[in-house]
Amino acid sequence: MTQVFKPKTEVKTIGSGGQIYLSKKLAGQHVVVTQEREGVWTIKTADVVPHDEKWLDTPLNSAILDEALAWCEHNPARASTPAEIEALFEKALQGK
């Protein structure tokens, strides 16, 4: 069942530093502020993806990452010797 959101209007005072207090539950969240016209602003919460992490935010790479994380859950880490690691690299290089 979809909840119906009832719009709420409040009067706020802009502080001397230009701040508006919205709600403690919004503290630390990113928002997009759009000035629609003189005296009218729209404020929307937003998720921000850093530039160096945008490559992860694609369906293909997200699926690859999900697959890798699932593999990690079923294959716990174990101690390896340098010789074992070198053998794995050699095997991988021969496969290419």
What pLDDT does 83 receive? 94
Q: Mean pLDDT over all residues of the chain? A: 91
Give me the amino acid identity at 88.
Answer: L
Give the Å distances, CA to CA, from 84 to 11, 16, 73, 90. Answer: 67, 64, 21, 10
What pLDDT does 96 receive? 60
Any bridge partners for residue 32, and if so which? 44
Domain assignment of residue 59, yes or no: yes
Domain assignment of residue 43, yes or no: no
Domain assignment of residue 25, yes or no: no
* Tokens at 66, concatenated: 């999900």
Domain assignment of residue 61, yes or no: yes
> Could you tell me the residue range of the domain that residue 85 belongs to?
51-95
Q: What is the pTM of this model?
A: 0.48
What confidence tens digit (pLDDT) does each residue in 32-73 have? 999 999 999 999 999 988 899 888 889 999 899 999 999 999
| Neighbour tally for 47: CB within 10 Å | 7
Domain assignment of residue 10, yes or no: no
- What total of structural domains would you count in the chain? 1
Give the Å distances, CA to CA, from 67 to 31, 49, 80, 85, 96. Answer: 32, 21, 23, 22, 21
Domain assignment of residue 57, yes or no: yes
Percentage of the chain lying above the pLDDT 90 cut:
67
CA angle 27, 30, 34 (to 5 degrees): 120
Q: Are 56 and 65 in contact (CB under 8 A)?
A: yes
